[in-house]
Structures are given as C-alpha cells and as structure tokens.
Amino acid sequence: MVGGVCISQSLKIPREPKPGEFDKVIRRLSENPNARVVILFANEDDIKRILQASKKVNKMGHFIWVGSDSWGSKISPILNQEEMAEGAVTILPKRQAIRGFDRYFTSRTLDNNRRNIWFAEFWENNFQCKLSRHALKKGSGVKKCTNTPKLPFLTLPNVIVSLSG
C-alpha cells in the first residue's frame, strides 16, 4: 500500500516488445478483477498497442486508464479505437519556457560540459559519432566525435522544461 492506494502490480513494457507482449500485459492486468485503474506511463506507440490488445479481448470499459502526457497531448494513441479510451484521464503538466536556456544549452561542447553525465551520450546520438576509439568498429561508418560541431543546429524553441504546479 502506497499513500492509501493498493498497487495490485507493476508491469514494465520491454524496450523492444516481441509479438504478443501487449496481449500478455492485458492478461496480467486482468488477473485481479478488482484492480481496474491502470496508470500508464508509456510512449504513444505502446499506448496504442495496449489499447489494441485490450480491444482484442473485449475489455472495453473494463479498465480506467490514467495516462501521461505522451497520451494526453496527442490523438494518435487512440485514433480508430476511441471507444477503448473512453473515460480515460490524461495528465499534461504545466509547461513554461525558461529564458536563457536555449542560449546556455547551445553553447555546450564536449570541453565545457563535464558536469552533465548524459551529455556525452546526447552528443554521440545527435552527431552520429563515438567518443571512445574502442567503441569504433571498422566499416561501421561511425566516426570519432570531435568538438567542432556546435549545438546551434538545434532550434530550441521546442525545448520546454516541465514544471509542476
């Protein structure tokens, strides 16, 4: 029991779900007929597939869905299966742009950003390169990262920091 709420079970959707994975999730959610509220923090594709699996076993109206902003701000997770999502509650946190963030973030480089432990991964993913020579494979087409790219390639008006309250 957490804060007066009894949690029946906590399930995780694998990063790369195999066929039938969402059917299995719905079966597990159905094990306890008294547990009907499902709090779902998932990406929009996984939400769509959960609703599809629920529809396949005729669970329309059985679950009360509480969804994150991946669901509440988009139509795609429920498109063509609106009846499965009827009565759902979705949460969209208040958002506000923070002045100066774009300027600060786009000034970051490999040399001046040692505090953020995820920055190296961010750099590798955005510039399709590897920082470590040992991670480079011959013929992979992946280059070694340099400090020459600058982040202003990112137009950051879409970067928004979520705030509660």
Q: Mind giving me the DSSP string for 58-92?
A: T-TTT-EEEE-HHHHT-STTTTT-HHHHTT-EE--
CA-to-CA dists, residue 96 to 6, 67, 93, 144, 158, angstroms: 34, 21, 10, 36, 11
pTM for this predicted structure: 0.58
Domain architecture of the chain: domains with CATH: 21-90 (3.40.50.2300), 96-162 (no CATH)
**Percent share of the chain, pLDDT over 70:** 82
Give me the pLDDT at residue 127, please. Answer: 79
pLDDT of residue 103: 79
- For 78-90, b/e burial (b = at least 16 CB within 10 A) is beeeeebbeebeb
Q: Specify the pLDDT at position 133.
A: 64
In the predicted structure, residue 160 carries a pLDDT above the cut 50: no
pLDDT (mean) for 29-58? 91
* pLDDT tens-place string over residues 4-42: 778 888 888 888 899 999 999 999 999 988 889 998 888
Give dist(CA 87, CA 4) in Å, integer: 23
